[in-house]
Structure 1
Amino acid sequence: MKEQARIVMNDKSIASQIVAFIHAEGMAVGSHLPAQLIADRLRVSRSPVNDALAFLHEKGVLIRERNRGFFLAKPVEQPLDQVVDQLGLGEADVVTSVYFRIADDRLKGLLPEEVSEQALKTRYGLTNTQLNSVLGRISQEGWAERKPGYGWQFSSMLTTPDSLLKSYRLRLALEPAALLEPGYRLDPKVLKRCRAAEVHLLQGGIETDTADQLHDRGVRFHESLVEASGNSFFIDTIKRVNRVRRLLSYRSMQDRQRYTEHCKQHLNVLDLLEKERNEEASEELRAHLRHTLDALSNISNILKP
């Protein structure tokens, strides 16, 4: 019993992220939640995902079918913070809060490139479990890694406004080209999911979604378009860029006014892909990324420490 409690504590953050994924996707009751798909989405191994799914099964959110896996047992329609509280996942909120504080302090230059675990525990008032969860997430996202033997080292990558702009220039070169790959096909179910996410934002989500949710919705949209190319080189490159640009992406979300136009542009791209007008969709996507690049240049003061 004690062992089970320990496992649940260690995986509360992942359980919370799975609930956020269900909520963001608007999943219907009966939807399948494959462990590998979720592990790939959250960029963690399958073992903690399986533990988190088992925890959500115990809480009645999921049902488990023998030899088939986990399925959604009831709709997740309430505000996400309410769902998290009802499931006893408040610990994950602490982890998320400290994650953003560390990110902000790092961008402001208040944390050195190398830091000890004890210094982080003291600075942010963390337990060992909380610290491990925070550092695990940071490590998964690629902006810090454990030093051999002692302490942690932050990556110098993507900690300046120019770095974020460079990442968008790379995306500007690759993403529109992915839509022109031979045999490109965006699955109707994926298209429907992407469209629903944009409608949600236009109907108020821009103001109410967390920075995490806003970033992940944008990432899912763009990665879904690239994945439909079937070209693993495009897919791997874009996913790698999205992992490491997260820090400055969060900072840029202080200005949310631009998201309304972004959503409309996303919907235009989807409409064109649905009609199999891929060349026009590619040009629309190029214009969208260029628009975003210009907007980020105009708010570069927000990105500065």
Structure 2
Amino acid sequence: MSSAGERVVNGKRELTEGLAAQILDLIRGSGLAVGTHITAQELAQRFSVSRFPVGQALQLLATKRVLVHEPNRGYFVSDAKIPSPEALGLISRDDASDLYFRIAEDHLHGRLPDPVSEAYLKELYGVAKAQLNGVLGRITQEGWAERRPGYGWSFSPMLTTPESLEQTYRVRLALEPAALLESTYRLDPETAARCRAAELRLLGGAIETDSADALHERGVRFHEAIIGASGNPFFLEAVRRINRIRRLLSYRSMVDRKRYRQQCDEHLRILGLLERERNEEASQELRHHLEHTIENLQEIRPILEH
């Protein structure tokens, strides 16, 4: 039997390797160019963890020559061929994401008490405190659970139905096309190229091989990138908030992947129009894209209600 100290060490190692694998998938999936600056703060916000474990993961990737560390400047994508997590000897499946989805699924099915203690969750899932806290931090960031003073955690009933997921898309339908029409809109070429590379990678076969988490992240990155170019930070903040809280049901919709080729094609059309500064047409195309997604939600409703 392992000691408590050994479990803590193993939990920290799994968290570091899991984050390193996620960062590696982000670099590969986004087609980040050689020399791209990778910041711990941005990654900590994206993965809803503190900067310390992110810093450890960046150090690990630097030792494996995926990143180059420059003193007083930070980490940059190296010129080496970017391998898969498995090729680097990292965990093949992100344990943190696996734990996240197990908690999400149990919550959706009403199998968890509410409120629930950390001790109960640690025993139920057989995980170390460090790993559990990292996942609970991500869940809190996404808005579907919160810490209760003096006793564990309480879940929000917010996004546990197909209707609530559709409502988030209707808010996005009101916001996102409008963001493309801002007078301050400017999509820089580097961002556009990164978005295009990610879509082409999916069309090249990654639709079938990427995890549900990675597919969700790809969509989030695309929409946040084009909305972030509006020059109006309030559009981006609103969309980010929606993206965080809709994830609980969105990941389940990834089971049905046949619609993703159409979504990639639509993303590429929107991108092409924005690059040619035809923003009114891009706004209309984005509206049609979101309307198609809402229609698709009706087709996959049995999956969401399962």
Whether TM-score is above 0.5 comes out as yes
CA distance in 2, matches of 1:98, 1:10: 11
Worse overlay, 207-216 or 135-144: 135-144
Worse overlay, 224-233 or 25-34: 25-34
> Residue 126 of structure 1 corresponds to which residue in structure 2?
127
SS in 2 for 1:248: helix
CA positional deviation for 1:42: 2.9
* Deviation digits for residues 178-220 of structure 1 (CA, Å, limit 9, x no counterpart): 0000121111111111111111111111111001110000000
> Residue 51 of structure 2 corresponds to which residue in structure 1?
46
> Residue 100 of structure 1 corresponds to which residue in structure 2?
101
CA positional deviation for 1:52: 2.5
> Residue 189 of structure 1 corresponds to which residue in structure 2?
190
RMSD: 2.3
Do 2:11 and 2:129's aligned partners in 1 also have CA atoms closer than 8 Å? no
Worse overlay, 234-243 or 7-16: 7-16
Do 1:8 and 1:55's aligned partners in 2 also have CA atoms closer than 8 Å? no
Worse overlay, 129-138 or 201-210: 129-138
The answer to whether 1:235 aligns with 2:240 is no
Do 1:28 and 1:75's aligned partners in 2 also have CA atoms closer than 8 Å? no
Classify 1:7/1:268 alpha carbon distance in 2 versus 1 (closer, same or farther; 3 Å): same
CA positional deviation for 1:293: 0.4
CA positional deviation for 1:231: 0.8
CA distance in 2, matches of 1:137, 1:271: 34
Worse overlay, 228-237 or 280-289: 228-237
SS in 1 for 2:203: helix
Classify 1:149/1:55 alpha carbon distance in 2 versus 1 (closer, same or farther; 3 Å): farther
Worse overlay, 207-216 or 9-18: 9-18
The answer to whether 1:285 aligns with 2:290 is no
Do 2:16 and 2:57's aligned partners in 1 also have CA atoms closer than 8 Å? yes
1:118-197 matched pairs, under 5 angstroms: 118-197=119-198
1:24-39 matched pairs, under 5 angstroms: 24-39=29-44
Classify 1:145/1:171 alpha carbon distance in 2 versus 1 (closer, same or farther; 3 Å): same
> Normalising to structure 1: TM-score of the pair?
0.90
Do 1:22 and 1:76's aligned partners in 2 also have CA atoms closer than 8 Å? no
SS in 2 for 1:149: coil
CA distance in 2, matches of 1:74, 1:144: 41
CA distance in 1, matches of 2:300, 2:136: 29
For 2:74, the aligned partner's letter is G
Worse overlay, 150-159 or 270-279: 150-159
Classify 1:125/1:8 alpha carbon distance in 2 versus 1 (closer, same or farther; 3 Å): closer
* Deviation digits for residues 101-143 of structure 1 (CA, Å, limit 9, x no counterpart): 1111111222233212222222222233332233233223322
The answer to whether 1:113 aligns with 2:114 is yes
> Residue 3 of structure 2 corresponds to which residue in structure 1?
none
> Normalising to structure 2: TM-score of the pair?
0.90
CA distance in 2, matches of 1:104, 1:34: 32
For 1:147, the aligned partner's letter is R
Do 1:15 and 1:52's aligned partners in 2 also have CA atoms closer than 8 Å? yes
CA distance in 2, matches of 1:39, 1:101: 22
1:230-269 matched pairs, under 5 angstroms: 230-269=231-270
SS in 1 for 2:68: strand
Do 1:179 and 1:278's aligned partners in 2 also have CA atoms closer than 8 Å? yes
* Deviation digits for residues 33-83 of structure 1 (CA, Å, limit 9, x no counterpart): 123333343344434322322232234332211221112235454344x14
CA positional deviation for 1:32: 1.9
Worse overlay, 69-78 or 242-251: 69-78
CA positional deviation for 1:7: 6.1
CA distance in 2, matches of 1:107, 1:219: 22
Unpaired segments ≥5 residues, structure 1: none
Aligned residue pairs total 300
For 1:113, the aligned partner's letter is D
Do 1:227 and 1:235's aligned partners in 2 also have CA atoms closer than 8 Å? yes
CA distance in 2, matches of 1:76, 1:145: 41
Classify 1:179/1:78 alpha carbon distance in 2 versus 1 (closer, same or farther; 3 Å): same
Worse overlay, 51-60 or 176-185: 51-60
For 2:41, the aligned partner's letter is Q
Classify 1:137/1:202 alpha carbon distance in 2 versus 1 (closer, same or farther; 3 Å): same
Do 1:8 and 1:51's aligned partners in 2 also have CA atoms closer than 8 Å? no
> Residue 72 of structure 1 corresponds to which residue in structure 2?
77
Q: 2:68 aligns with which of 59, 63, 66?
A: 63
CA distance in 2, matches of 1:75, 1:109: 47
Classify 1:7/1:36 alpha carbon distance in 2 versus 1 (closer, same or farther; 3 Å): same
CA positional deviation for 1:153: 1.1
